Chain A
Amino acid sequence: MISRLNLLVQIAVRNLLASTVNLLIGGLILFGTLFFVVIGSLLDSLNQSMARSVIGSVAGNIQIYSSASRDDLSLFGGMGGDPDLAAVNDFPKLKAELEAIDNVKTVVPMGNSGALITAGNIVDVTLERIRNLVRSGEGASVDQALNALSSTERKARLDSEIAHLRQIIAVLEGDAKKARAILSETAVEPEALAALEKVSTDAFWQQFDDKPYDALEFLENRIAPQVTDAQMLFIRYVGTDLDAFQRSFDRMEVVDGQPVPPGQRGFLIAKFLYEDQLKLKNARRLDKLHDAVAVGRKIADDDELKRFVRENRSQTRDIVLQLDGLQTKVFVEKLQKFLGSSEKELPTLLTSFFETTDANLEARYGFFYRELAPLLQLYRVRVGDTLTIKAFTRSGSIQSVNVKVYGTFAFKGLEKSPLAGATSLMDLMSFRDLYGYLTVDKKEELAELQKSTGAKAVDREHAEDQLFGDDGATVVAEATPGVIQEDAQLTGMGRKLRQEDLLKRVYTPAEINQGVVLNAAVMLKDGAKLDQTLAAINALSEQKKLGLKAVSWQTAAGMLGQIITVLRWVLLFSVGFIFLIAMVIINNAMMMATLQRAQMIGTLRAIGAQKSTVLGMVLIESLVLGVLFGGVGMLLGSAIVAALHSHGIAAPNDVAYFFFSGPRLLPDASAASLAVAIGLILFVTVVSTIIPAVLATRVSPLRAMQADE
């Protein structure tokens, strides 16, 4: 049997090599297989890398959310903003149920949303400092350290702050005058300009000493609103159990600052967002130029880098506004010395300084961070600051919470990815506050209020009687007009709930878990068993009426998760097209070959070969063709993939970091894609040979007797 097979294979191989058409077909199969293996492996690796990115950054292996939700979960946001998710109310029960499933490692509660953060504009911040200094002169500042200053020290600091403010005013006045000159008389309101002119006179500042509060009020009302530098930023965040998050998403690492202490409220800003949105723009652009030049890009012939230089030169206002008189002087001196210039105006010096080229970039980058940056506030929000975060609650009202920024964080390998770095982290308590859900604090506050006022719960049915009936309900308090004395009136729990106390409160894990979450990440022990676990969760939810919907990370990632699927379809379509052509050619060539070899086939039939032998011979011939050339294609493809693996494919841009799950993609020829390639080759060759093979079996042994023409 084996000898016969061996002989049929030999016939096949020799027939193959005897025809150039076969070489053409072989070439097609070789190319198709190579293409499939290389592109298929790249897509597989991309899929795995992206899975690592999505799973490791925010999604976990599986996401669960309430099946009563109006929209599907989309972790990275969708076309129409945040999906409308129903709340999952009893998270502790759910967590216990899910963690009882074999492959589930842990369940991390979450709520994804967006919010606005504000950090006040530069004039507001400076005025607040001046006001505090003035109040400290009366011993009335909230900052005890300021109250303790000697009058000389206070005077020196006040003078420096006022100099800074006057510097800002000078810049604003210059801007306004330029705007009037360039645009039109009406480009700047006359009142605004008049206010600026007023506060830039020495007379105004001489009066400041006598009536500081009047002057401050004028500045706050008339000057601060003229500074339009956007200090409002939209951020996406995940409200989560921060301890559980840090334990479960092991690629997460704190870059600046420290993790939020266990059980406390707090905020961790995504490092990418911190650099990209909160850093002084000039410094950020210098960083980008520095990074680009480090990977071989040239400012001279790169439009994007040229734009950075242009913007750095024209947008120096952020720096100028930050500096007080003394600092301005230091800046001017340093820049004059560095540039060898006698120019006295800081904006002009900065414009010259930011004229960076391929030749001088490194020196200027170094100088900036060594000499200038220490005098600047590089980030709009600093680690340790308390942020006021505003968001729309589910009912549409605006809610705000104060949270302390403990640090910044990034996911290992995804430091440069805008996608992975777009989402910051917030404690679950603050999230519930922001989103308008009842937190443990609010519950306690309500109970306290109920107790202190003697209020009792009234059900809907008896509400009218109980509230307005004449059963002698006692009056517990009467409203009186007057000024609210916050400190005096807030007592008991209400006082305890003041923001500064909230920031310091430590919550127990039970308190954190108790309450509403919108979704939760399910981390698996074995990520390969995703489908089974998904089915198990859905079955459990069905059985125990948990009202849950479980989706894979890919589905939870929304459109992002579909990209690879789309690319895979494109690949299959292309390979399908190549193989379709191969099938048509193989079919035609084998038909021709069968007709040409009719006498040989007839002879074999005459000397005793059964039809099945002839069928086998033709099929084997095609299979040998497929296996030989397909095999070479697979080997070459695997070699190319191995070469790509050893060098790695560098991420061409920041977005690719997320898809590559790091700076380089290391593709592997997966067993699955090789197996699919083999299947494809077998399918193509066998299907395309069926008709010629059947035709061959119909060749009569009589053909052997006919003389060769």
Chain B
Amino acid sequence: MSAIVTIKDVVKEYSLGTTVVQALRGVSLVVDKGEFLSIAGPSGSGKTTLLNLLGCVDTATRGLVEVAGKDTAKLTERELTNLRLNTIGFIFQSFNLVSVLTVFQNVEFPLLLQNTLSAGERKARVTSLLEQVGLATHLKHRPNELSGGQRQRVAIARALVTDPMIVLADEPTANLDSATGQQILDLMRSLNQSKGTTFIFSTHDHKVMRYANAVVRLADGKVIGREKPEEAVAHAIGELSAPVEALPS
């Protein structure tokens, strides 16, 4: 399998007043096409920072970030935006739908930005995707008329509408109940399998990790291992239970 994302020795520093905080400390990672990869780790481990670099919404302080064969450090802001538009789909923890637009319009928006398809083609593509996520009957609804799960499905449709190589999902189930979260993960995995789209999602939930092909575990801004889901889950449970056991009885 060929690599779609390559990260090598990446450091990301933030300035907080006079202090410099290192969010990532020399991370290296290769993601192949068609992977269903989870980035796991506790809060503050650097999951979102890594996702931001992969999603080209942020740039590394040092090190190489290569997405779809392009070194993001060498791209202008305009080129980065185009890379995001054409190569990457985003699914956000809080869904981030445009509240004043309908379900259909939200999903259609990236296609309008691309400006390559006719109105008819756009309509066909949006409708078909919304059918796949089970919202064919909600085209004209506004986001505030939908449940959390439905909103996230709209977000998934929006992320996939441009047929991106990579879909990045930041804690996609964090704001959903477990049953809905499970449905969303099922949907993502089936789309990964049917379309071959690479999915990279961050989570700290071990139940979510189980869905991944592989789990990259982060701690304190470093990759501490790339594991199979069950190993990662075991580690995660261990990490989670340790502080509990340490509590005085």
A binding-site residues for B, Cβ under 8 Å: 1, 3-4, 7, 10-11, 14-15, 18, 599-600, 603-611, 613, 700-702, 704-705, 707-708
Contacts and interface: CB of A to CB of B under 8 A. Distances in A.
A299 B17 CA distance: 85
A608 B82 contact: yes
A7 B112 contact: yes
Interface in B87-106: 89-90, 92-94, 96, 98-101, 105
B185 interface: no
B241 interface: no
B51 A610 contact: no
A611 B96 CA distance: 18
A704 B96 contact: yes
Contact of B98 (A600, A611, A701, A702): A600
B13 interface: no
Contacts of A702: 52, 57-58
B92 A608 contact: no
Given A606-B55, A608-B84, A700-B57, 5 more contacts: A14-B100, A606-B57, A609-B85, A701-B84, A708-B94
* Category for how many chain B residues contact A: 35 or more
A609 B110 CA distance: 8
B168 to A, nearest CB: 10
A532 B89 CA distance: 63
Nearest to B122: A3
Interface of B: 48, 51-52, 55, 57-58, 77-78, 81-82, 84-86, 89-90, 92-94, 96, 98-101, 105, 108-110, 112-115, 119, 122, 158-159, 162, 170
A15 B100 contact: yes
**A605, A608, A609, A700 — which one has the most chain B CB atoms within 10 A of its CB?**
A608
Q: Nearest 4 CB-CB pairs, A to B? A: A608-B85, A14-B100, A701-B57, A603-B96
A1 B117 CA distance: 11
A707 B84 contact: no
Contacts of B110: 607-608
Nearest to A608: B85
A648 B100 CA distance: 47
A373 to B, nearest CB: 80
Contacts of A613: 113
Contact of B109 (A599, A607, A704): A607
Contacts of B115: 1, 4
A603 B115 CA distance: 18
B96 A600 contact: yes
B86 A608 contact: yes
B170 A610 contact: no
**A3, A14, A605, A607 — which one has the most chain B CB atoms within 10 A of its CB?**
A607
B51 A705 contact: yes
A497 B142 CA distance: 100
29 contacts: A3-B119, A4-B112, A4-B115, A7-B101, A10-B105, A15-B100, A599-B94, A599-B96, A600-B96, A600-B98, A600-B99, A606-B55, A606-B57, A607-B84, A607-B85, A607-B90, A607-B110, A608-B81, A608-B85, A608-B162, A610-B81, A701-B81, A702-B52, A702-B57, A702-B58, A705-B55, A705-B57, A707-B94, A708-B96
Contacts of B57: 605-606, 700-702, 704-705
A520 B82 CA distance: 72
Contacts of A700: 57
Contacts of A704: 57, 90, 92, 96
B158 A3 contact: no
Given A15-B100, A705-B57, A606 B94 contact: no
A708 B96 CA distance: 9
A605 B58 CA distance: 12
Contacts of B159: 607
Given A603-B98, A604-B98, A707 B113 contact: no
Contacts of A600: 96, 98-99
A696 to B, nearest CB: 14
B113 A609 contact: yes
A603 B92 contact: yes
A603 B92 CA distance: 9
A701 B114 CA distance: 17
Nearest to B113: A608
A15 B94 CA distance: 20
Contacts of A603: 90, 92, 96, 98
Contacts of B119: 3
Contact of B101 (A4, A10, A611): A10
A7 B101 CA distance: 9
Contacts of A608: 81-82, 84-86, 110, 113-114, 162
Contacts of B112: 3-4, 7
A10 B142 CA distance: 13
A15 B108 CA distance: 19
Nearest to B111: A3
Contacts of B82: 608
Contacts of A604: 98, 109
Contacts of B158: 607
A14 B102 CA distance: 11
Given A4-B115, A11-B100, A606 B51 contact: no
Given A600-B99, A609-B81, A705-B51, A7 B94 contact: no
A7 B81 contact: no
A606 B112 CA distance: 15
A42 B73 CA distance: 63
Nearest to B174: A707
Contacts of A610: 78, 81, 113
A18 B98 CA distance: 13
A594 to B, nearest CB: 15
A606 B85 CA distance: 8
Given A607-B109, A608-B110, A11 B98 contact: yes
